[in-house]
Homo-oligomer: A and B are copies of this chain.
């Protein structure tokens, strides 16, 4: 049920992007995920909850450990949204800026 706003909100935080980057190398426990950060374990736990809410990670309890794995699917939506605007970042000067270019000509 990954909502685009939730996904974008989740990846807008650098620590959470860093967490995903780490998880892309393979599943890990919460403590291991937290290790590189200058932040309490609890803070990381909260970030993980945000990522989980966005569907970007999956959690499986294994004894006292929670094993976290990366789930990329929600990023498809992001790619899809951005894709809508891809044409603009080349076509830009031709089409969009024409307004201001015309305006300048008139002065």
Contact = CB atoms under 8 A, between A and B. Distances in A.
Contacts of A64: none
A76 B50 CA distance: 25
Nearest to A8: B12
Contact of A73 (B27, B84, B92): B92
A46 interface: no
A22 to B, nearest CB: 13
Interface of A: 4-5, 8-9, 11-14, 17, 20, 24, 26-27, 60, 62, 67, 69-73, 75-76, 78-79, 81-86, 88-89, 92, 96-97, 99-100, 103
Given A9-B9, A27-B96, A73-B92, 15 more contacts: A5-B12, A9-B12, A26-B99, A27-B99, A69-B96, A69-B100, A72-B85, A72-B88, A72-B92, A72-B96, A75-B82, A75-B85, A75-B88, A75-B89, A78-B78
29 contacts: A5-B12, A5-B13, A8-B12, A12-B12, A17-B81, A20-B85, A24-B88, A26-B96, A27-B99, A60-B100, A60-B103, A62-B103, A67-B99, A69-B97, A69-B99, A70-B96, A71-B96, A72-B92, A72-B96, A73-B89, A73-B92, A75-B82, A75-B86, A75-B89, A78-B78, A78-B82, A79-B82, A79-B86, A82-B82
